[in-house]
């Protein structure tokens, strides 16, 4: 279904401009008159988290293989921490090799790299490869499911519960369109993910030269401009589901459709969501984390007298095309902090304000370590100050 009727986007004001009085900053929430046939849908700006469209976004529904996004995330996080390496070789268990549904037909007792199993899970939504990853990380699928639910709680996915690592039909396994969007956003942060998520066709080599063809289940990777990630899912109980992310310029969107009637509809409806977002919104980087904030913070009792600071992350401003893009940037920092100071320590807040509303915020962090001054340092400082005073 095409999104043809675009209504004026309203901004819901949740709090007044009172950041320096300690009031919690609000976010402008966009809404659109979009009619999609899927049971649930969600469109979100990746950088700000602004909601551009939602339909039954908190309904708890089966999501089929979209469950694998959490399996993929935990694998990526284990790679980042150094607990796993892409080149690590693992042996497929009887349990993993016997998984039904979508699979790459791994051999029981066969040796595979973590990279190949992760690629198989991301590209081909392979149940057998997903179980290999789960058993490698936690020892068993059931223990891995405990990690999945713990991570979901940490990410604030309050409408999600996992029973297995594959998304095969199981009791008490569900998620929401909103939670799926937040989870895909988390997965998208990892560069290793995009190494595999953008593959269209590849192959998995087995022992004795046997090959399994890998074809990306997310057709938007090939056919939608800017799409570089996502996850499909389909079972009788879940219907046809899709979560996808796409980037054009500085604007990255995350779209989710759950419970579509067929595979064609899920791709069409998710494309409509993303097209609506790109047609009507723009994103501008208004704070660059690579730029130092002009004001330094004085350091008390430190080896250095001040510390340079910057925003912890980039800040983007999402606006509807044609709207006034005027904004101001404000900082809130103490006049001084005490040594010792560690790189990355929070030292204040930076706010982006539009129409007297805080639309984005980020921590201000210290850029260097500053140790506490020693007695010798204090003596030298006293001598320097005495010399200047003369």
User: For the chain, how many structural domains are there in total?
Assistant: 2
Label residues 204-238 b or e (16+ Cβ within 10 Å = b): bebeeeeebebebbbbbbeebeebbbbbbbbbeeb
Q: What is the CATH number of the domain that holds 138?
A: 3.40.710.10
Look at residue 385 in the predicted model and tell me its pLDDT.
59
Both 44 and 97 in one domain: the answer is yes
Final residue before a domain boundary, out of 235, 258, 284: 284
- In percent, the amount of the chain with pLDDT more than 90 equals 76
- Residue 125 bears catalytic tag: yes
Distance of CA 169 to the CA centre of its chain: 26
Look at residue 376 in the predicted model and tell me its pLDDT.
67
Label residues 58-75 b or e (16+ Cβ within 10 Å = b): ebebbbbbbbbbbbbbbb
pLDDT tens figures, 222-273: 999 999 999 999 999 999 999 999 999 999 999 999 999 999 999 999 999 9
The backbone torsions φ and ψ at residue 325, rounded to the nearest 5 degrees and listed phi first, read -100, 15
CB atoms within 10 A of CB 83: 12
Closest CA to 220 of 209, 211, 231: 231
For the cut 50, the answer to whether the pLDDT of residue 11 exceeds it is no
Both 223 and 366 in one domain: the answer is no
For the cut 70, the answer to whether the pLDDT of residue 196 exceeds it is yes
Q: Which is catalytic among the residues 27, 39, 55, 68?
A: 68
Look at residue 359 in the predicted model and tell me its pLDDT.
86
Direct distance between the N- and C-terminal alpha carbons of the chain, in angstroms, rounded to an integer? 81
Q: Which is catalytic among the residues 120, 124, 125, 212?
A: 125
Closest CA to 196 of 122, 133, 131: 122
- In percent, the amount of the chain with pLDDT more than 70 equals 86
Cα distances (angstroms) measured from residue 44 to each of 106, 114, 202, 221, 289? 37, 31, 30, 18, 22
Determine the structural domain holding residue 342 and report its residue range. Answer: 288-389
Closest CA to 343 of 364, 310, 362, 367: 367
Final residue before a domain boundary, out of 267, 284, 301: 284
Q: Is the peptide bond before 12 cis (omega within 30 degrees of 0)?
A: no
pLDDT tens figures, 369-384: 999 988 766 666 666 6
Has residue 31 been placed in a domain? yes
Between 7 and 225, whose confidence is greater? 225
- Residue 142 bears catalytic tag: no
pLDDT tens figures, 349-375: 999 998 888 988 999 999 999 999 887
- Residue 387 bears catalytic tag: no
pLDDT tens figures, 339-351: 999 999 999 999 9
pLDDT tens figures, 28-58: 345 555 668 899 999 999 998 999 999 999 9
Look at residue 120 in the predicted model and tell me its pLDDT.
98
d(CA 173, CA 161): 5
Look at residue 207 in the predicted model and tell me its pLDDT.
87
Residues 6+ apart with CB under 8 A from 15: 23, 24, 25, 26, 357, 358
Count of alpha carbons within 13 Å of 242, Cβ hemisphere only? Answer: 29
Please tell me the least confidently modeled range out of 121-130, 136-145, 354-363: 354-363
Q: Which is catalytic among the residues 40, 54, 65, 212?
A: 65
Q: What is the CATH number of the domain that holds 344?
A: 2.60.410.10
Can you read off the two tokens belonging to residue 154? Answer: 């940490």
């Amino acid at each position: 279904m095409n999104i043809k009727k675009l209504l004026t986007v309203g901004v819901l004001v949740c709090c007044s401009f009172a950041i320096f009085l300690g009031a919690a900053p609000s976010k402008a929430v966009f809404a659109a008159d979009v009619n999609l046939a899927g049971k649930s849908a969600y469109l979100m700006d990746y950088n700000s988290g602004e909601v551009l469209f939602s339909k039954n976004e908190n309904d708890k529904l089966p999501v089929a293989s979209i469950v694998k996004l959490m399996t993929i995330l935990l694998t990526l996080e284990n790679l980042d921490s150094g607990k796993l390496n892409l080149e690590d070789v693992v042996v497929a268990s009887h349990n993993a090799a016997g998984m039904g549904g979508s699979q790459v037909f791994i051999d029981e007792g066969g040796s595979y790299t973590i990279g190949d199993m992760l690629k198989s899970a991301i590209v081909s939504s392979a149940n057998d490869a997903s179980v290999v990853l789960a058993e490698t990380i936690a020892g068993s699928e059931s223990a891995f499911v405990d990690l999945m639910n713990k991570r979901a709680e940490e990410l604030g996915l309050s409408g999600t519960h996992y029973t297995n690592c594959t998304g095969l039909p199981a009791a008490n396994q569900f998620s929401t369109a909103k939670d799926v969007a937040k989870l895909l956003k988390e997965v998208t942060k990892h560069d290793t993910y995009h190494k595999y998520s953008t593959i269209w066709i590849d192959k998995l080599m087995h022992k004795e030269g046997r090959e399994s063809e890998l074809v990306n289940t997310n057709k938007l990777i090939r056919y939608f401009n800017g799409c570089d990630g996502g996850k499909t899912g389909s079972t009788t109980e879940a219907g046809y589901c899709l979560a996808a992310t796409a980037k054009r310029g500085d604007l990255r969107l995350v779209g989710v459709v759950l419970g579509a009637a067929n595979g064609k509809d899920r791709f069409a409806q998710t494309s409509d969501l993303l097209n609506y977002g790109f047609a009507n919104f723009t994103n501008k980087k208004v704070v660059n984390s690579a730029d130092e904030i002009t004001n330094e913070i004085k350091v008390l009792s430190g080896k250095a007298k001040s510390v340079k600071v910057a925003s912890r992350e980039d800040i983007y401003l999402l606006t509807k095309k044609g709207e006034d893009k005027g904004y101001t940037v404000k900082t809130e920092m103490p006049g001084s902090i005490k040594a010792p100071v560690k790189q990355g320590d929070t030292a204040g807040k930076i706010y982006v304000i539009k129409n007297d509303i805080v639309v984005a915020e980020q921590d201000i962090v210290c850029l260097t370590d500053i140790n506490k001054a020693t007695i010798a340092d204090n003596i030298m400082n006293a001598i320097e100050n005495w010399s200047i005073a003369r």
